[in-house]
Amino acid sequence: MSVTIRELSKRCGLSVSAVSKALNNYPDVSAATRERVLKAAQELGYYPNALARGLKTNRTYNLGVVLDDEMHDSLMHTFFIVILNGFRREAERRGYDITLINRNIGGQTLTYLNHCRYRNVDGICLMCVVDFYNPEIVELAQSDLPLVTIDHQYPGHDSVFSDNRAGMRELLGHVLGRGHRRVAFIHGTPASVTDVRLNAFREVMEERGIALPEGYVMASHYHSTRYAHEAVEKLLALPERPTCILMTDDYSALGGIAALSEHGLRIPEDISIAGYDGNAMIQKIRPNLTTYQQNGEEIGRRAAQRLIARIEQPDAPLEEPDVVPGVLLTGETVIRLA
């Protein structure tokens, strides 16, 4: 099928090993023959076989990306898409491919770790995981494969964080700065990034000495307008309604807005609301959502950088996690109270 190194060597009148060395810039090959080999390779359209090469060298220039979403819809969440895009970009720049890894291959179900080993990826990025304490994910973290995680750190492994603490502090600061005191927070699933934000939320409220009524903090699901809807309903049923609701992400905020509208509430005149993420599309709509924009592109980029650095220097000292700041998007959905 494809032209092999053997044919190339015949064409050049050289041995296979000489050709290989010429192609791989070994020092012990004369400039003249290297030139000749390179030229012939060009002519024949030769390129090495990644399988054979990987088999021999244990390097595949292939990065595994795991999206551990039981619903198979993590790609639908704009946050992860942007990360994936940044990751892919940096990987390409550095000469790596990326493969999305499943649990199922060739008919049988493999664990993530085994799947990664099976594919011989050089490293793994845990891009989206719903539960960082899932045994299968933990197994991955306990292996010796280079690994980078986003918004979570396993001991001994690299990680990149969105600055959730600063983000929540800034967002809440903005809300409080506009005079709100009764602020509710509908957060995402626990044991995830939501914990950090929730802590930051409580932190700020405490610092300012603002009371947090029963029922103002509740758990919902990410990326679900339905759950957001339900949660908002509960909030509105409270004896003392909040004046502003913080949602777990932009998409949920849309669900919240819909729920509020159904109750005849105008935004922001009657009630305020804010999101989290700041994805591209949300920025184009009216009313302009107040939200905290995470820099997903940069997060993905840094994750790839970290991972590749680890692959190429496995014993380099572990650095502090990268913390990527975002930026507050002041929209129109949080009103200034008199």
- Contact footprint for a copy of itself (CB under 8 A): 1-2, 45, 47-52, 54-55, 58, 60-62, 72-73, 75-76, 78, 81-82, 84-85, 88-89, 91-93, 95-108, 110, 114, 117-120, 225, 251, 254-255, 257-258, 261, 279-282, 284-286
One-letter amino acid for residue 104 of the chain:
N
Q: Contact positions toward DNA, by CB under 7 A?
A: 1-2, 4-6, 13-18, 20-21, 23-24, 26, 28-33, 46, 48-49, 52-53, 55-57
Calpha distance 297→301 (Å, rounded): 6
> Closest distance between a copy of itself and the C-beta of residue 147, in Å?
16
Residue 40, burial from CB neighbour count under 10 angstroms (0-12, 13-18, 19+): buried
> Closest distance between DNA and the C-beta of residue 60, in Å?
12
Q: Which is nearer to DNA, 13 or 287 (CB)?
A: 13
Phi, psi dihedrals of residue 177, rounded to the nearest 5°? -60, -25
By a kind-dependent CB cut-off of 5 to 8 A, residue 33 interacts, out of DNA, a copy of itself, none, with DNA
> Closest distance between a copy of itself and the C-beta of residue 72, in Å?
5
By a kind-dependent CB cut-off of 5 to 8 A, residue 23 interacts, out of a copy of itself, DNA, none, with DNA
Say how many C-beta atoms besides its own lie within 10 A of residue 298's C-beta.
19
User: By C-alpha distance, which of 154, 151, 229 is closest to 195?
Assistant: 151
CB 302 within 8 A of CB 163: no
Q: Which is nearer to a copy of itself, 204 or 253 (CB)?
A: 253
The reply to whether omega before 48 is within 30° of 0 (cis) is: no
Q: Which is nearer to a copy of itself, 15 or 49 (CB)?
A: 49
> How far apart, in Å, are the Cα atoms of 136 and each of 46, 62, 140, 149, 267?
41, 21, 6, 14, 44
> Closest distance between a copy of itself and the C-beta of residue 152, in Å?
23
> Closest distance between DNA and the C-beta of residue 25, in Å?
10
By a kind-dependent CB cut-off of 5 to 8 A, residue 191 interacts, out of a copy of itself, DNA, none, with none
Its sign, for the CA torsion 232, 236, 239, 244, is positive
